[in-house]
Structure 1
Amino acid sequence: MTACNVIPKVSEQPYHHAILTRLPSEWVPWPDDASSVNHEDALGILLKRSQKKSFTWPKTPVVFISDPHADAEAFEASLLAAGIIERDGAHLCEYALTKFGQKADIVVGGDCLDKGPSNLTMLRSLAHLYRLKAKVTLLAGNHDLRLLMGLLSLERETDVGSQHLFVRMGKKVIPLFKEVFDQYLADTQWDKGVPSEEACRQALFPGSDWFDNFPFYAAGFLTHEGIERELAKMTTKAQSFEAHCAKNGLTLPQVYAAAMKCRSLFLKKSGEFSWFFRRMRLVKKRGSFLFLHAGLDDHMAELLAKHGVKYANRAFKQNLMNQNLFSFYYGSLANTFRTKYRKADLPLTPRGAYVARRAGIQVLVHGHINRHFGQRLSLKNGLIHIEADITLDAHSRKKEGLEGHGVGVTLIDKKRGVIGLSCDYPHAKVFKPSRKGNLSGAR
């Protein structure tokens, strides 16, 4: 079996060639992995539904890259693998758009932050993509929004529902604060105006009575499992947060100073990264495909069916900046970038899946859940999911026994179908419906 035109072209320049050698050169029909479909035939159902007149493909090719997690090298390698960019320099952030990159819809599926190796380089690489006037949609990821919630909680009058949101970011955000401190504050009088260590501790950590009061505050809003999960998470994070700061060479006053600098960088109009949350969207729909970070619940399915995607994105923005942080972060809008369909999450029932399909949403394309063998099809109460987080960042890959940074992308195109490329799977996975069924090995 040889490479065919379903696989994007990658140029033979040395850097590109190094990426090409890590990608599959052959394709296979999308595998029917029974372990991934909850004992239901996701592939067969996708094939059947995709042949109906009501099923529509995006008019423009969509390139979906999710969960780069502060790894600009993995992000840019994936753009190269998709045929979106070509190098015009030897370093990160030195690239230009290809002809395909100029016309394609590029959807970044969220979680640009945390883990590593560099949050700031990742943000600057994404900013360069915007400068090139690429058609980019940036979706909200739970790691991205956790930073925003933590930063906002330092400004607003805190209550039981939000006073824990800074520490709730956990150890994964500390490398960002370290980067910010080193690049912006280390050689300045950073401690001028910074409170004492104890005052910083009181500002950053939830009050001593938070663990007693939170279950009552959240009752009727979160499930019992959700409340127990939050208490368990916060017990661990509150006990270890300061130790993780020290391990990264930061005192609490330095963390406080870095957080204030992050507020300036991300939340002020003049900040270097002010575009990041401003450009962020909750969902994007193209044809019968809904792109988002994690998944749906019944309430969001109803909202999308009644009001549409534009309304959902407006509601996301207004709730993000103007409403109670607790009701936003633990509500249905945020469940869209948080859910893993656990008991603690707001549920997607067969009724919600039916409502989504009636609204023209046949397939969810999302990240959020690490996969080691490329993209995966699954079926949740009759709603098809393409799980496209193929573990890009070097930090996660090392932790999970994978080598180097990841390379991978999911392409959706009415001519080529759905293509899953990953350096961790030996073949390109291709789904292209036809009257005779999914693609066979014939050329």
Structure 2
Amino acid sequence: MKSPLPCVFDHPNHADITTRLPSEWAPWPRDDSSVNHHVLSTSKTPSRFKKNKLRWPKRPVVFISDPHADAEAFEASLIAAGVAERKKKAALGQLTLTKKGRRTDIIVGGDCLDKGPSNLTLLRSVKQLYKLKARVTLLAGNHDLRLLMGLLALARKKDIGNQHFFVRMGKKVVPLFREVFDEYLADTKWDKKIPDEDTCRTLLFPGDDWFKEFPFHAAGFLTVEGIDREVRKMASKNHSFEKHCLAAGLSLRQVYATSLKCQQLFLHKKGEFNWFFRKMALVAKRGSFLFLHAGLDDSMAQMLLKNGTQYANKAFHRNLKRRDLFSFYYSSIANTFRTKYRDADLPLTARGVDAIHKAGIHVVVQGHINRQQGQRVAIKKGLVHVEADITLDSHSRKVEGLDSYGIGATLIDKTTGIVGLSCDYPTAKVMSANELKGIYE
């Protein structure tokens, strides 16, 4: 039954945002006609759930994932969640924290980059939260790390394990390159020390022997399905990457020059966005809730059980510094921001789920899998997942037939429970603390 929604966004300057949001809440849908028809049910709940006490985060949590370079959607979602506000006519990047925002954990679930329309503005919006001393946790997303792998691979000696990482970024990184070129290089003598087009192609693309040698190089690291998927994906991207660059008005010389500029911006100590990868975490645990971008596998489950989230985050950063990019990107650590529990991904079995429960983790909150009708709660691999990627960026929304930019956030608090707020669903979905607690008793 619908009820009035307690106002979490009471800002008169933001009628354009509030009018697009639901004004009522209803229990999280479970009927067969809803998009959540196979979600949480006691009959599906693993027995261990009922033996362990569910612990809620000490502070309220706002989880916003997959903004994909849409600063307007990201900031609107912060405002909708009640943690930020913006003075009338203020530009993007000029948010201030509300009273609620100062006492709330804001977790950005990864995939800040790619697709567009505003990669650089989105990064500056996230940085603004740090400047405001908000309680921000920035998680690693697969799109974010793909950029890092591409930039690092270009800076290192080519080998079979790393020479495909630049082109592997694919067409979705092209808007970022376009933005960087226009802002930093267009009015400079960018081409002064840049080699010719053919040399740039050789520097950026994998060699002719890659497709023959990679399956042997990856044997033992990836599943058979994973190797086949990687080779097929690269065949497509190798064929189309240059075409996508040219369609955006970028020659390979310009792409190469832009990549060097991105190395300076993201990797050098004085680079404007040096903070981005440095502040990034792999996982965050609040009470019995684990926040990450994608999912888990058995090895990561064991790591979290034996060593905890702090160790996992340190391992993530130490592995990023290794020279062998291949062993990092196809490891259990990287699987955490890439998996969709496909045959090609590292497996999560009953053994891993048991370890996760023993580690005191009962709910995984993730991005990565975009939903068109708001958040979804589901049992996957015997583990409760809150799928919180609600298609925020205007690029994806246009492709999927959705209007404008997206607005929404997942709110987690022991007083109200789990709230799924989205402009694409008629009510706010609420799973009360008592309702979720009842599963464990």
**Is the pair's TM-score, using the shorter chain for normalization, greater than 0.5?**
yes
Q: CA distance change for structure 1 residues 82 and 170 in 2, over 3 Å: closer, same or farther?
A: same
Given that 2:376 and 2:387 are in contact with CA atoms closer than 8 Å, whether structure 1 keeps it comes out as yes
- The one-character-per-residue Cα deviations of 1:170-224 (angstroms, maximum 9, x if unpaired) are 0110111111111000111101111111111111000011000000000111111
Q: Counterpart of 1:384?
A: 384
1:44 to 1:19, Cα distance in 2 relative to 1, 3 A: farther
8 Å CA contact 1:38, 1:378 repeated in 2: no
Question: How much does 1:36 deviate?
Answer: 6.5
Tell me the matched-pair count. Answer: 436
For residues 435 and 256 of structure 1, do their structure 2 counterparts lie closer, same or farther at Cα, with a shift above 3 Å needed?
Answer: closer
> Does the aligned pair in 1 maintain the 2:141–2:338 contact within 8 Å?
yes
Determine the structure 1 residue equivalent to 2:365: 365
CA positional deviation for 1:4 = 3.5
**Aligned-partner Cα distance in 2 for 1:279–1:285:** 16
- For residues 106 and 435 of structure 1, the distance between their equivalents in structure 2, rounded to whole angstroms, comes to 24
TM-score between the two structures when normalised by the length of structure 2: 0.95
* 1:199 to 2:199 alignment: yes
Note if contact 1:61-1:413 (Cα within 8 Å) is conserved in structure 2.
yes
- Deviations along 1:300-329, one digit per CA (max 9) or x if unpaired, are 000100000000000000001224100110
Q: Structure 2 vs 1, CA of residues 37 and 84 (structure 1 numbering), >3 Å: closer, same or farther? A: closer
Q: State the shift of 1:389 in Å.
A: 0.2
Partner-residue secondary structure (3-state), 2:111: coil
Secondary structure at 2:138 match in 1: strand
Say which SS state the counterpart of residue 182 (structure 2) adopts.
Answer: helix
Aligned letter for 1:400? E
Q: One-letter code of the match for 1:66?
A: S
Shift of 1:95: 1.5
1:233 has 2:233 as partner:
yes
Match of 1:98 in 2: 98
Whole-angstrom CA distance in 2 between matches of 1:23 and 1:404 = 13
Aligned equivalent of 1:254 = 254
In percent, how many aligned pairs have the same letter? 63
Residue pair 1:47, 1:433 contacting (<8 A) in 2 also: no
* TM norm structure 1: 0.94
Equivalent residue, structure 2, for 1:160: 160
Distance 1:71 1:372, change over 3 A: same
Distance 2:62 2:231 in 1: 38
State how far apart, in whole Å, the 1-side matches of 2:435 and 2:271 are: 53
Counterpart code for 1:57: W
Q: Residue 441 of structure 1 corresponds to which residue in structure 2? A: none
Alpha-carbon distance in 2 for matches of 1:357, 1:46: 12
Amino acid at match of 1:4: L
Give the Cα separation in 1 of the matches to 2:336 and 2:31.
25
Is this contact kept in 1: 2:46–2:382, CA < 8 A? no
Distance 1:238 1:286, change over 3 A: same
CA contact (8 A) 2:218 2:227 kept: yes
1:149 aligns with 2:149: yes
Q: What letter is aligned with 1:256? A: Y
Q: Give the C-alpha shift of residue 356 in structure 1.
A: 0.3
Check conservation: 1:142, 1:338, Cα contact below 8 A: yes
Asked if structure 2 preserves the Cα contact closer than 8 Å seen for 1:373 and 1:390, the reply is: yes
1:322 counterpart residue number? 322
Give the corresponding residue for 1:278.
Answer: 278
Q: How does 1:53-202 map to 2 (within 5 A)?
A: 54-88=53-87, 89-202=89-202
Deviation of 1:18 after TM superposition, in Å, equals 1.3
- Aligned match for 1:29, one of 27, 30, 36: 27
The CA deviation string for residues 256-311 of structure 1, in whole angstroms up to 9 with x for no partner, is 00000000000011111000000000000000000000000011000100000000
Q: From the superposition, tell whether residues 280 and 26 of structure 1 become closer, same or farther in structure 2 (CA, over 3 Å).
A: same
AA paired with 1:62?
Answer: V
> Which runs of 5 or more residues in structure 1 are unaligned?
439-443
Gaps of 5+ in 2: none
Q: Is the 8 A contact 1:107 1:139 kept in 2?
A: yes
Q: Within 1, Cα distance between the matches of 2:388 and 2:257?
A: 36
Q: Please report how far the alpha carbon of residue 3 of structure 1 lies from its aligned counterpart in structure 2 after TM superposition.
A: 2.1
CA contact (8 A) 1:47 1:437 kept: no
The whole-number CA distance in structure 1 between the counterparts of 2:93 and 2:380 is 38
Over 3 Å counting, the alpha-carbon distance change for 1:40 and 1:377 in structure 2 is closer
SS at match of 2:159: coil
For residues 249 and 145 of structure 2, what CA distance do their matches in structure 1 show? 25
Q: Aligned with 1:93: secondary structure?
A: coil
Determine helix, strand or coil for the equivalent of 2:77. helix
Q: Is the 8 A contact 2:284 2:291 kept in 1?
A: yes
SS of aligned partner of 1:221:
coil
DSSP 3-state at the match of 2:63: strand
CA 1:228/1:2 → structure 2, altered by over 3 Å: closer, same or farther?
Answer: same
The question of whether the paired residues in 1 share the 8 Å contact of 2:223 and 2:344 is answered with yes
Superposition deviation, residue 48 in structure 1: 9.5
Per-residue deviation, 1:129: 1.1
The aligned residue for residue 20 of structure 1 is 18
Match in the other structure for 2:423: 423
**Correspondence 1:404-443 to 2 at 5 A:** 404-434=404-434
Task: Tell me by how many angstroms 1:10 deviates.
Answer: 2.8
2: CA distance between counterparts of 1:71 and 1:435? 34
Q: Whole-Å Cα distance in 2 between the matches of residues 400 and 74 of structure 1? A: 16
Counterpart CA distance in 2 for 1:66 and 1:33 is 26
Summarize deviations over 1:375-415 as a string: whole Å, max 9, x none: 00111222100000000000000000000000010010011
Cα root mean square deviation, aligned = 2.1
Aligned-pair CA distance for 1:11? 1.3
